[in-house]
Amino acid sequence: MTDQFTIQIDSAMAGKRLDKILADQLPDISRSRLKALIKEGHVTHSTSSSTATVTSPSQSVRADDMYIVTLPEPESAEPEAQNIPLDVLYEDADVIVINKPAGMVVHPAAGSPDGTLVNALLHHCGSSLSGIGGVKRPGIVHRIDKDTSGILVMAKNDKAHQGLSIQFADHSIERVYGAVCRGHPNPAAGRIEGNIARHPVDRKKMAVTDKGGKWAATHYKTLSNYQHQGIDLASLIECRLETGRTHQVRVHMAHIGHALVGDPVYSRGKWSSKIPADLRGTLLGFARQALHARVIGFIHPVTGKTLKFEADYPSDMQKLISALDQYSV
């Protein structure tokens, strides 16, 4: 049953912020939660003549007005199985290796409650999941960003989950990414090292920091350079990860001045006006970070066998690389 709370504004409350008044009157609901409810349209404002949905937590309240807070039905704590096609590279009783398309979120979260890789795996694996922590769900031991494509390995039982987790913790998993970055890295190959933490100002970003954060290291190697009339357009690079931090390749490459093509978060600078017309749309219009988890290698957590898998670039990156190839130097 949906819960509703009615708050009548008196003269002592008048002039104060709506979210503060609601938090004072509904102590069992956090102020941050109430802010979210307001922004999501779950609070209505009633006067003697009208009723309207409120969307601004900071608006001032007036005496004699009334606010109704509606708590939506809670979502299921466990993700549901959904019949979503998967590109399965390998599967046995213990692990499954997937080539994830760009645009798919790995795990349900706020803003992405379904349509995720986990929802797809629950349907695909079905009864072959013996459970992680007593619950039938795939064991997520690593993730890649929504708009990064490429290979992921998941566990199907506790033993496999523990074995893979150990390999990720000791950095023994082989992970190779292919990417297209802006400009030409100099030197052409190297090792980028630096702690990664949440950006101090923009909380949607990560950043290399001298204070706090988690140690991270990325080895990069230039495979091809692309140039036109003396302008360093872009480079095809290979990145090998020693660690696996949030946005690691994206942050490290931006840190050395060579953000990934199409990256909406870390690639903000203007492009040269000398980019050839036949390349401009493909290069400047690339719709995501040009990053693909191309290779993964690990020791099977149950059999002990060495496994290695590779996935070709998806069609959008193949088109981008093909368009750049005519400017290879």
Enumerate the active-site residues. 145
Rounded-to-integer distance, Cα 2 and Cα 99, Å: 40
* Residue found under tokens 């199907």: 156
Cβ atoms 192, 240 nearer than 8 A = no
**Token output for 144:** 């890649």
What backbone phi and psi angles, to 5 degrees, belong to 130?
-90, -10
3-state SS of the chain is: CCEEEEEECCCCCCCCEHHHHHHHHCCCCCHHHHHHHHHCCCEEEECCCCEEEECCCCCECCCCCEEEEEECCCCCCCCCCCCCCCCEEEECCCEEEEEECCCCCCCCECCECCCCHHHHHHHHHHHHCCEECCECCCEECCCCCCCCEEEEEEECEHHHHHHHHHHHHCCCCEEEEEEEEECCCCCCEEEEECEEEECCCCCCCEEEECCCCECCEEEEEEEEEEEECCEEEEEEEEEEECCCCCCHHHHHHHHCCCCECCCCCCCCCCCCCCCCHHHHHHHHCCCCCCEEEEEEEEECCCCCCEEEEECCCCHHHHHHHHHHHCCEC
Radius of gyration for the chain, computed over Cα atoms and rounded to the nearest angstrom: 25
